[in-house]
Structure 1
Amino acid sequence: MSLFDRIFGRAAGDVPARIDGGGAPLSFGASGRPLAQSVSPDGGFVISTSQELEAALRGEAGLSGEVVTPETAMRVGAVFGCVRLIAGKVATLPIDVKRRVDDRTRIDASDHAVAQLLRRKPNGWQRPAQFKRMMQAHVLLRGNAFALKVISRGEVRALIPIHPERVTVRQRDDLTLEYDVVRKNGSPITVSQDEMFHLYGLTLNGYSGVTPLTYARETIGQARARDRQVAATFRHGARPSGAVSMPDDKKLSDPAYDRLQRSLDDFRAGGEKDGGVLLLEEGLKWETISMSPTDMQWIEGQKLSRSEICMFFGVPPSMIGDNSGSDSNWGTGLEQKSNGFSAYTMDDHLVMWEEEIGAMIADPKIYARFNRAAMVRTDIKTRYAAHAVALQWGWASPNEVRALEDQNPREDGDIYYPPPNTAGDASGKSEKDDNDPVA
């Protein structure tokens, strides 16, 4: 039973409800739709479904009158673009699992169970990219992402994702965490901290995350309200066409009024009759009304909303297709914007994943790390220039570079070239030309 039904105690009949503290009530029928949709001058707003009522009672309705939930927020282009960009980048970056041999040596540990889980099959129906994209989207839209660990022989063999709305996090007196989970059949279970894979970013209590939607609710609500207004305006011809007047000593008959109303509706409804000739009768006069430039500032308001939403998610507006600004804080070039996005936005999310993955590996010498170099793999010039520097200064071998490019090793490719002007023998002594006067 929904919160709507639990509050009002019935699912049929007319139920008066209004979320504004006053004014005329809204009547809800058995379908959950309001029988009369209206907005009063005192600032009330329409609740059209029981789900929207539940969201409003949880405080998810802003001053704009729009109920902002993860589902409704994704209908705003800027929100969808930010979530798609961040979640897609997490999904496509490869994760390397390595083992620390000593303070200086690392070896590949791709045969570890966690590496196989993250690279091949996190569960029985999802691929790694699908799993990571969905979990990251949950973090961005709901603040938390949960997956139940399937443990066998001391190793995590699968991660079963659970919708955040079915999980409640609770901290016990001994400071450990417990998770109350509602199964799909409605039965509750309690899961310990060691059995739950829990991702969250910004937190105010230390164990449960908050989402940008919590603090961007007014901005997103204003964007949705503005979109509704623009859609309604364009539906009626994108302009107030004009007004019809008649002499004071005359009165329009009912048949003439009905014909005029139908003609006006056709005239402004778009299609073949839009912009055509309007035939008036009984002394009526048509007066054109033009819209002032101030009334047409919707596009500027939309730009402002996009910029503010991008600020909440930490995404440059140009990276979601908004090229109205210069993004001067991170530079004007694509490379500077990509570097700023990687350093100030993506690294925060990647470290969140790396720490939670490391927490489910029993061996402290094994760790997981995203290959951040893959962020520039689409820029072949920058990638090859970085390889050349690594080879020139001797901190990468040709075979290591070839491995990064997914190529087979070559014979004698494990050599490390000495840096320029420091060539020497095995003892480290520099070799100098006998004709060199300094020698």
Structure 2
Amino acid sequence: MRLLQKFLQKPLSSNVVTKSSGFSPIFFNQVFDDCGLSVGTKQVIEKYKVVAPLNDAVNTIANTVGDLPLVVINKETREISLEHEVLDLLRHPNNEDQPTKNDFMRDLTIWKILEGDSYVDATGDVSKPPLELFILKPQFMNIEVGKFGFAEKYTFDGTNSRTITFFKDFINNTITNIENNQSLLHIKNFQPSGSGNNITGMSEVLPLWFDVEQWEQASTHNLSLLRNGARPSGALKTDSTLTMQQRQDLKMFIDQSYQGASNSGRPLLLEQGLTWQEMSMSAKDMDFVKLKEQSKQSIFESLGVPIELKDGNSTFNNKAEAKLQFYEDTVLPTA
């Protein structure tokens, strides 16, 4: 929030570097790790869509950050004010995707957690405070690096043919597009990977990627069991050798008539020469519910969301203490 406040209040110089000092190939914003795990931006977004604990934890943090009241404090007198041009702008950042302060702070926080980067596009005369603020989606931002390894050119290639290029001014430490009267603020996490400068931040999802994968795989496993009547049923045996066509016909018949929850318990009609061999399922085969709970707890803990806030069996005192911990350890540092 301090970085955003400086960005909104600081007059921006028009002395901008508009020519490259030798760009390297475009660096596409992605999440990656040097330890053999390679995770792309698209994968992180897809996990956010389908992995319920990840979605829940990220949204809990982002919505809480968005709900925080904002004030302006005078550095000299330490007086608190609820009226300021910065607060007016944040109360209504733009008329499109983030019409309220809550929407703006929520989106900024979600992208910073998922991608490790948030981009704020400020419109208006670059030498004056912004007129509007927009959150740009990181997956559409391409960064070009100069010969010294620093980011020099930011190109946002979004939907509806909206393409805008920002140039880095190293003297004034600003990123602007003078022609379109737009400025860019890049907020990023620490990035341990890579051999050069930190061009983009590291996703906060990366350290818990295996827990995210485990939860999704366990859900897929449980769904497959449900579709198969919660057990691998058994095996059909015959003394004769079936042709490929007979195998396919038999498999299709079983899929249509006996698989799925709606066919659970339906008696099996066998042709002459076919026998049914019952197969039992061990307790370990059905232990994926416990695995899902463990993965869920690990996801929440890794992102700094106490599981007590989501546990219906928690007492009032436990939830009160967990909420205090959540604000102190996660929400306020994020904001």
TM-score, normalization by structure 1: 0.55
Shift of 1:268: 3.1
Please list the CA deviations of residues 169-199 of structure 1 after superposition, one character each: whole Å capped at 9, or x if unmatched: 6788999975512343456442544332333
Report the RMSD for the aligned CA atoms in angstroms: 3.8
Matched-pair contact (CA < 8 Å) for 1:243–1:286: yes
**CA spacing shift, 1:117–1:179, aligned 2, 3 Å:** farther
Taking the aligned partners of 2:31 and 2:190, their CA distance within structure 1 comes to 24
Matched residue, 1:353: none
Larger Rg: 1
Taking the aligned partners of 1:144 and 1:296, their CA distance within structure 2 comes to 39
Taking the aligned partners of 2:134 and 2:35, their CA distance within structure 1 comes to 28
Taking the aligned partners of 1:316 and 1:221, their CA distance within structure 2 comes to 21
- Letter matched to residue 155 of structure 1: P
> How many equivalent pairs are there?
284
Please list the CA deviations of residues 187-218 of structure 1 after superposition, one character each: whole Å capped at 9, or x if unmatched: 64425443323333444466742212222223
**CA spacing shift, 1:201–1:279, aligned 2, 3 Å:** same
Matched residue, 1:275: 265
- Letter matched to residue 155 of structure 2: V
**CA spacing shift, 1:123–1:251, aligned 2, 3 Å:** closer
Matched residue, 1:437: none
Specify the SS of the correspondent of 1:281: coil
Taking the aligned partners of 1:183 and 1:217, their CA distance within structure 2 comes to 28
Matched residue, 2:295: 305
Matched, 1:222 2:210: no
**CA spacing shift, 1:61–1:304, aligned 2, 3 Å:** farther
Taking the aligned partners of 1:151 and 1:262, their CA distance within structure 2 comes to 64
Shift of 1:85: 0.1
Taking the aligned partners of 1:143 and 1:164, their CA distance within structure 2 comes to 9
**CA spacing shift, 1:173–1:259, aligned 2, 3 Å:** closer
Matched, 1:349 2:334: yes
- Letter matched to residue 63 of structure 2: G
Matches within 5 A, 1:295-374: 295-319=285-309, 321-322=310-311, 333-350=318-335
Give unpaired runs (5+ residues) of structure 2.
Answer: 1-28, 175-182
Matched-pair contact (CA < 8 Å) for 2:204–2:303: yes
Taking the aligned partners of 2:329 and 2:120, their CA distance within structure 1 comes to 27
Matches within 5 A, 1:285-304: 285-304=275-294
Matched residue, 1:68: 43
TM-score, normalization by structure 2: 0.70
Taking the aligned partners of 1:269 and 1:263, their CA distance within structure 2 comes to 10
The partner residue of 1:78 within 24, 32, 53 is 53
Matched-pair contact (CA < 8 Å) for 2:227–2:261: no
Taking the aligned partners of 2:36 and 2:224, their CA distance within structure 1 comes to 21
- Letter matched to residue 278 of structure 1: L
Taking the aligned partners of 2:76 and 2:295, their CA distance within structure 1 comes to 51
Matched residue, 1:146: 119
- Letter matched to residue 282 of structure 2: S
Matched residue, 2:69: 94
Matched-pair contact (CA < 8 Å) for 1:245–1:287: yes
Bigger relative contact order, structure 1 or 2, given CA contacts below 8 A and separation 6+? Answer: 2
Matched residue, 1:238: 230
Give unpaired runs (5+ residues) of structure 1.
Answer: 1-53, 351-439
Taking the aligned partners of 1:252 and 1:206, their CA distance within structure 2 comes to 62
Matched residue, 1:136: 109
Matches within 5 A, 1:96-111: 96-100=71-75, 102=77, 105-108=78-81, 110=83
Matched-pair contact (CA < 8 Å) for 1:256–1:281: no
